[in-house]
Chains A and B, each alone.
Chain A
């Protein structure tokens, strides 16, 4: 799909894309989508554990981004970081809704086979940190904390309670994990 717009997104850099979005240029939305939707969708699917809800949340995220783009401040950080924040807030709203819990129950009936399959095949506990390098490079306790903090939207306090470790340990684990990841990507 849409091969032509995919090729154009290479030619403009992040600041140019931001400028287009600021100027309310609708053509920028397609570029934004092609460049960021798969990564955002990955984060959302991980959070919501449902293709349909993640797609809904992706839609709401981009509509929100378009509607409130003036609140993005490039001086405070990268575009992707802000996009993930918007996406995560929308996902957390869905989480808190009663509909989400009903949906989970229904889904469990419908896709039980699927779930059982996944449990038996993915028995190594690596969840979906799919990248082999990262799996090999990170210790299990580092993976755990990255997953909670970066992908499931836990605050540091929540992560500390969930894992039963002190706040300081949360901080040092996140730090050492990120340093390892940075080394892989550098």
Chain B
């Protein structure tokens, strides 16, 4: 299959919307694991959808926040997940579910005649007042639009600022780690199963501190996790599991001796010894300082 054709087919947009069948959804997820371009595209669609939804954000009543926080505070951690799922006040209808409710005014049939009279009266009032309302509604809409544009721009800038701050923190962590006396940088290069991949450790033999930048290591597939190993005198020593996502310089286990470092893909939770044919990157201490 041509992956670019797949990407431009529109299926990823439907995936993000949750509009695919479970089978199609699994297909997308499998391809996302295998193809970086698919992951990048999904991320861009998700971001656009979030921005779109934020442009239509509305404030719920002020009491809602308190109610929710109190309700969650009163839930025990142990019984998490056992909360009833549906709204108890509304038992599910036995008949086949339909969407007739969505079509607004279609459900007025079957109303008692006294009510129908009131209905007629209120329609008369409504028609008279709607001319005035239309005018104010127009002005209200314009103001709301202006506000929405500004809110959106604001959210966008805040997001950018957050991203820059996170980046700066990462860089500062890097510089601090490199400044420590005795710190060495070991660049681990991609092995045949992951050509071009680069990950880096900063290791300090005197303080034994070890930190990892996962670099261009691809996201671990579901159920798997990367594990860092220190190789000392031909023996692998577990140096800790690699956190997914852009975690910056992540602290790993303390390592006293090492001639090389390597990362393997292991079942989630890690392994006692490395799976050698799933070794992604390796680098020797002292060859690229």
Contacts and interface: CB of A to CB of B under 8 A. Distances in A.
Co-assembled chains A and B? yes
Interface residues of A, number: 97
A133 B149 CA distance: 8
Contact of A121 (B19, B85, B133, B149): B133
A38 B138 contact: no
B53 interface: yes
A11 B165 CA distance: 8
Interface string B91-103: 1110001011110
A87 B131 CA distance: 37
A149 B14 contact: yes
Contact of A33 (B65, B97, B100): B65
Contacts of A54: 60
Contacts of A156: 14, 19-20
B193 interface: no
Given A37-B64, A121-B138, 17 more contacts: A39-B56, A42-B56, A60-B86, A66-B75, A67-B75, A68-B81, A81-B16, A84-B49, A90-B86, A93-B85, A97-B87, A101-B100, A121-B134, A131-B149, A150-B52, A175-B10, A185-B47
A55 B64 contact: yes
B52 A62 contact: no
Interface in A85-143: 85, 88, 90, 93-101, 104-105, 108-109, 112-113, 115-118, 120-123, 128-134
A1 B66 CA distance: 10
Given A115-B104, A185-B156, A97 B68 contact: no
B60 A38 contact: yes
Contacts of B222: 73, 75-76
Interface string B154-170: 00101001110110000
Interface in A29-76: 29-30, 33-34, 37-43, 45-46, 49, 51, 54-60, 62-64, 66-68, 73-76
Nearest to B33: A75
B275 interface: no
A59 B133 contact: no
Contacts of B86: 60, 90, 93-94, 97
Contacts of A43: 53, 56
Contacts of B73: 26
Interface string B55-84: 111111110110111011101010011110
Interface of A: 1-2, 10-11, 13, 15, 24, 26, 29-30, 33-34, 37-43, 45-46, 49, 51, 54-60, 62-64, 66-68, 73-78, 80-81, 84-85, 88, 90, 93-101, 104-105, 108-109, 112-113, 115-118, 120-123, 128-134, 146, 149-150, 152-156, 159, 170-175, 178, 181-182, 185
Contacts, number: 280
Nearest to A62: B68
Interface in B94-135: 97, 99-102, 104-105, 107-108, 111, 115, 118-119, 122-123, 125-127, 129-131, 133-134
A39 B32 CA distance: 27
B243 to A, nearest CB: 9
Interface in B137-158: 137-138, 141, 144-145, 148-149, 152, 156, 158
B90 A129 contact: no
Contact of B102 (A10, A75, A109, A152): A152
Given A76-B29, A117-B129, A15 B49 contact: no
Contact of A132 (B75, B149, B166): B149
A34 B54 CA distance: 12
Given A24-B77, A54-B60, A121-B138, A59 B52 contact: no
A10 B161 contact: yes
Nearest to B77: A24
Contacts of A66: 72, 75, 80
Interface in B250-276: none
A150 B83 CA distance: 27
